[in-house]
Amino acid sequence: MITNHVLVQHQELTIGSLGLARNIVKFVIDIIMQLLNVSLTGTAVSVTKEIILQKNVNSFKPRALMVKNQKFENNLDPKLEERFIALRRKQSLNANGRSYQHQNLLNETNFQNVQYQQVRPRRPINSWFVDSGCSRHMTGNHALLQDFKLKNGTHVAFGGDAGGKITGEGTVSNGIISFDKVNYCAQLNFNLLSVSQICDKSYSTLFDDSFCYILKPGFKIDNEWVVVKAPRDRDVYKLDMSQIDADTETTCLIAHASNDESQLWHRRLSHSNFRNMNRLVTGNHAVGIPSKKFSTTDLCPACLKGKQHRMSFKSKLENSISKPLQMLHMDLFGPTNVQSIGRKSYCLVIIDDFTRFSWVYFLHAKSETAELLKEFIIKIENQLECKVKTLRSDNGTEFKNANVDLFCAEKGIARQYSAPRTPQQNGVAERKNRTLIEAARSMLADAKIPITFWDEAIATACFVQNRTLLVQDKQKTSYELLFGRKPNISYLKAFGCPVSILNLNEHLGKFESKSDDGFFLGYSSVKRKEGISQAPGPSGSQEDQESNNHEENVNSQMSPNDGGSVQNQPSSDPNAEVIPESFDYFINSPDQVPNFTPHTSSILQDLPNLNTSNLETQVQGGDIPIHRIHKKHPVSQIIGPLNQRTTRSQTEQANVCLYSCFLSQVVPKNISEALQDNSWIEAMQEELLQFRKQEVWKLVDLPEGENAIGTRWLYKNKPDERGIVVRNKARLIAQGYTQEEGIDYEEVFAPVARLEAIRVFLAYASFMKFKVFQMDVKGAFLYGPITDDVYVRQPPGFEDPDYPHRVYKLSKALYGLHQAPRIWYETLSKHLLEHGFTRGQIDPTLFMKRENDDLLCVQVYVDDIIFGSTSESMCKEFEEIMKSRFQMSSMGEINFFLGLQVKQSADGVFINQSKFVEKLLKKFKMQDCQTIRTPSDVNCKIQPDPKGKAVDQTLYRSMIGSLMYLTASRPDIMYAVCVCARYQSDPKESHLVAVKRIFRYLKGKPNLGLWYPYEGNFELYSYSDSDFGGCALDRKSTTGGCQFLGPRLVSWQCKKQTNVSVSTAEAEYIAASAGCSQVLWLQNQLLDYGFNFLKTPIYIDNTAAMFITANPVQHSKTKHIEIRYHFLRDNSEKGLIILIKVHTDKQLADLFTKSFLSGRFEFLIQSIGLINHD
């Protein structure tokens, strides 16, 4: 057997007084070798030329000639054989009669047993082997070498072949790549490239299961991916197995998965515990999961919410079950407090005792259990060719009734019931219920999916657990025990991950979006294989199929045609599970109804009770599969095969998806579009249900002389912090523009929180190190009683058929009315004041409550509320106070508020708008633009361009408006946006280029945001600065300023001054006056938090402005300054602020007054607290 490992053997020559004798012996051996080469043409002799000489008192004699255990061919010369035997016998004796044997003698048998092997044919001359065990580049083909030079090299030995001597070296090149110092050995039948020699040239090599990669110099590998290192030793790489860390897996080298990868697979496997995940890997129980050790240093918050429990009882009975279906455990839980999206309230769980394989079914009522159970038993016995022997359940009437008893008696099935009030006797089913519910609760919490999708989460958890949880006493998965093969879990995706769905709207415009966004909700149980779509006639095997792979921008590929058959390519992996290309199959017309005949030898993996009236079936036709994504939510029978026949009435209902369902991603433009989408119909019904609960109106005849206000529907998708739509919101609003002041309403003002107030709230929370939580009031405006007589028309699409001409008289405020916001604010503030809260003196949307040393802070923005406290009990108390009066939606810790993404970590609070940045780049088609390091060009000043090419004003203003909203957390673009905003009235192409530069900057830094650390003081200070006549339009100066609470930036300004300044002193003085205004507001705002700041420092870099503030001297540079700016001097005299000189290099407000090169710009944004936070 030929190996491609080459070891260089160095000749050992002993230099002594008897060197002549050694040379004579060497000469004799060379003659013998030459004779061998001549007589054995076409053969390879495995004889090494290495001779080890032993020094002796009387003479030098060779100790041994190494001959490998091979056989000579029959054409060996007898004389030559005799000479070899004589030489060997001579070597075994010395002058003193002692016997010398070489320790490396390979064969002590007779020389006649040594044979020669036929020389193997050479590989193609251009074929080279990259060998990590080869110490030098080497070839046996002289024709490949360029610049050949003779060389008296060392001898080499090849495993399984004869050795040879290196007789030259040269260069190998194909015109693109070249290798120098390639050794030539005529006896070598392979061309070898040495990995160590490649690495000596500063290149790197990388091997995987398909290729060997030679990488350019400079390649670095992350130590996170290194499993073990084999150090280089004499130009080869040697791994000492005894030195490997004891933590390494015993069967193979298993890498440790990163924390992110561990969390991802934890979510993909329905929040399975890491111990079970590692068992799947080490025991090779599933296909598709990475061979890594999974662990994490972070607790899964979703599992804490979903799985925390008390200690369990440790009792176990001996189990004598030895085959599937010998005993089935079952239990029914419900009714749930929230109906599923399919209006189901109960869940039936069935578990096979031997395999622990589970099935779940969702029901409207308990009465459906008996028929479902009978159908399930008949199907499972037929598919698995086993008989159900025993049913174990509790004493519920859904199991213990005449219908089920008669069925079991006819089939000879024994019944076992648990004792009353003793659920432990039905422990298998009860524990399975808990496992499924905990997993579903964790999945919903992790994905932030509405609770109405609880059935989807339970079905997904059941599907995954059947393939991942190991049966403890058998150390195999339930799937493998039931079907005899390992499950493939490579396609599993995290529940709730985003997906893209191809839009098959027939009236889709040429330039409209071809895909909708959605999120992944599970796996379809219907699976297609070759021939499954053939009709009429037998179908293919009905094995279990999973839904499309969906995760992070996965596209559901769908193609329309006029009808067709589907041919799936068979998998090359016998253990692989086939993945369907679409979610469902459907029938084009009632005439195309296939007759599905189950295959008798097929095994059903997830046996369900599937009502095919809710299915869509693929039929025969063309070559391209037809796919359709439906808006209606799926039926409860989510697991199982198609019935043998699909009736005409069933095809009429063939508009319901099997399992994966999505909220509507398209916002309807009018009521007609909304009424065609079930998602929006349900959203409108939910809104009207709130009206009924709150007794908002009463249907009456319109009195004479009164005016009825029209109503309309407003539709909006509610995304979470990741941008995933989690709710379709429909709101009925009154057309308040028809109201008349003094007749229909009086006072309308209602306060709302400023963004600076929100940032001050979060800064205070970071300083006090308490968590901030978020709540939402459902139908907030509907709680405020209205005193005026207001009549509105019936909502479009929901008119009363018996009284279509009547109107509603409002008893509560309605969205859209001028007075509605004020009524809601008064209602909320009254409720909070009654429970001991105090309202902020400056900010009326801030409510505080103190108990001893603890403080509860509540910030209100219309119906969105954030709150936090130094006491956890006060937070819980506040939730109860709100829920006692209003219907609330608790959202947990704040993560998305007023468009701001808020992340609370162990060391601080991070605020950014990265999702909004991505949305803007996509909206304005800048997602593929080249990035740049600064938002404005220091060498290209924006100025009027009367001769420039005009651009679309609407587009330009839309860009500016979007960027202005982004400045809520991105002060780094404030100056650039403000300068571009000055040209909205007549934008030119040069101005549009400047705006696009901002987007290019955002593309390079989308995740930049404000960082509020827990550590640091809470002192208030400010920076103020101004340029001088920087505006090219009117030569007015630009004011810039920023305010901090310790290291936390809470406020910043960039505004063109209203006056033309005649000196830098005047411009700086006006800027300091503006900064003083903001400081005074913050001082008053912080009084409500218990801070009384005096002599707040304002840092400026202009000495003249400081002198003007301190000395009211009238001279030519100051006598004309408007009086309103002198209030800076007044507040300085009162001791509220103090001006402090700062060097220009440390003036942080510079960021808001001019453009900078990248170095200075990076320094400023880091100094104000902008960071990239992972």
For residue 846, give the 3-state DSSP assignment.
strand
One domain for residues 955 and 1061: no
Q: For residue 1120, give the CATH number of its domain.
A: 3.30.420.10
Name 184's bridge partners.
139, 168
Q: Residue 838 domain-assigned? A: yes
Answer yes or no: are the C-beta atoms of 716 and 805 closer than 8 Å.
no
Domain extent, residue 1124, equals: 1016-1142
Give one DSSP letter per residue of 686-708, joined into a string.
HHHHHHHHHT-EEEEPPPTT--E
Contact 116, 40 (CB under 8 A): yes
Convert the pLDDT of each residue in 71-105 to its tens digit: 334 444 555 556 555 555 554 444 334 333 333 33
Q: Which of 880, 861, 877, 778 is nearest to 821 (CA)?
A: 861
E strands present in 89-199: 117-118, 128-131, 138-139, 146-150, 155-158, 164-173, 178-185, 191-194
Whether residue 835 contacts residue 829, with contact meaning beta carbons closer than 8 Å, is answered with no
Answer yes or no: is 557 within a domain: yes
Last residue of a domain, one of 439, 461, 483: 483
- Angle 731-735-737 from CA coordinates, rounded to 5°: 140
Residues 465 and 503 in one domain: no
Q: Both 854 and 928 in a single domain?
A: no
With contact defined as beta carbons under 8 Å apart, do 519 and 604 qualify?
no
Select from 898, 921, 945 the last residue of a domain: 898
Please tell me whether residues 496 and 640 are part of one structural domain.
yes
Concatenating the DSSP letter of every residue in 604-632 gives: -SS-----GGG-----S-BSSPP----SS
- Distance (Å, whole) CA 936 – CA 990: 13
SS3 assignment, position 987: coil
Q: What is the pTM of this model?
A: 0.48
Cα dihedral across residues 146, 151, 157, 162: positive or negative: positive
- Both 602 and 735 in one domain: the answer is no
**pLDDT above 90: percentage of residues in the chain:** 18
Q: Distances from the Cα of 822 to the Cαs of 745, 748, 816, in angstroms? A: 11, 6, 12
pLDDT value of position 764? 93
- Domain shared by 506 and 446, yes or no: no
Q: What are phi and psi of 58, to 5 degrees?
A: -95, -35
Residue with tokens 């740049």: 932
From residue 426, give the alpha-carbon distance in Å to each of 90, 322, 349, 471, 1083: 87, 19, 12, 18, 65
Are residues 344 and 387 both part of a single domain? Answer: yes
Q: Please give the sequence-ordered ranges of beta strands (E in DSSP) within 689-813, or none if there are none.
A: 697-700, 708-709, 711-719, 725-734, 772-777, 791-793, 807-810
pLDDT for residue 1123: 62
| DSSP E strand boundaries for 764-895 | 772-777, 791-793, 807-810, 838-839, 846-851, 854-861, 864-869, 888-893
Same domain membership, residue 276 and residue 344: no
CA distance to 330, 642, 676, 1064, per residue, from 670 (Å): 48, 38, 11, 56
903 part of a folded domain = no
Residues with Cβ < 8 Å from 739, sequence gap 6 or more?
709, 745, 817, 818
Q: 646 and 524 share a domain?
A: yes
For residue 702, being part of any structural domain is answered with yes
Task: Report residue 75 CA to chain centroid gap.
Answer: 71
Cα 586 to Cα 575: distance, rounded to the nearest angstrom? 29
Domain assignment present for residue 683? The answer is yes
Q: Which of 412, 364, 439, 638 is nearest to 524 (CA)?
A: 638
Q: Residue 987: is the preceding peptide bond cis (ω within 30°)? A: no
Q: What are phi and psi of 685, to 5 degrees?
A: -65, -35
Residues 680 and 657 in one domain: no
Q: In total, how many domains does the chain have? A: 8
Amino acid of residue 626 = I
Question: Rounded CA gap, 616 and 657, in Å?
Answer: 8
Cα gap 478→788, rounded to integer Å: 67
Select from 433, 467, 483 the last residue of a domain.
483
| Shared domain check, 651 and 774 | no
Q: Is residue 1169 part of a domain?
A: no
Rounded Cα distance, 768 and 1015, in Å: 9
In a domain, residue 452? The reply is: yes
Cα separation, 860 vs 776, in Å, equals 10
* DSSP summary character for residue 658: S
All residue ranges of the chain with pLDDT < 70 are 1-125, 159-162, 209, 222-228, 233-255, 296-298, 308-320, 421, 504-510, 525-664, 720-723, 740, 742-748, 1112-1120, 1122-1125, 1174
**pLDDT of 176:** 78
pLDDT digits (tens, 9 = 90+) for 533-589: 223 333 333 333 333 333 433 333 333 233 332 333 333 333 333 333 333 322 233
Query: Quick check: is 588 in a domain?
Result: yes
Give the C-alpha separation, 212 to 214, whole Å. 7
* Phi, psi dihedrals of residue 1035, rounded to the nearest 5°: 60, 30
DSSP 1111-1173: -----TTTTTS-GGGGHHHHHHHHTSEEEEE--GGG-GGGGGTS---HHHHHHHHHHTTEEE-
**Other beta carbons within 10 Å of 103:** 7
Amino acid at 864: D
Q: Which pair of tokens denotes residue 1014?
A: 């827990």
Q: Where are the beta strands (DSSP E) in 309-464?
A: 327-333, 346-352, 358-363, 390-393, 414-417
The set of long-range contacts for 407-416, using a CB threshold of 8 Å and a minimum separation of 24, is 407/370, 407/373, 407/374, 407/377, 411/377, 413/377, 413/388, 413/389, 414/389, 414/390, 415/390, 415/391, 416/390, 416/391, 416/392
The rounded distance, in Å, linking the Cα atoms of 603 and 939 is 73
Q: Are residues 682 and 789 in the same domain?
A: yes
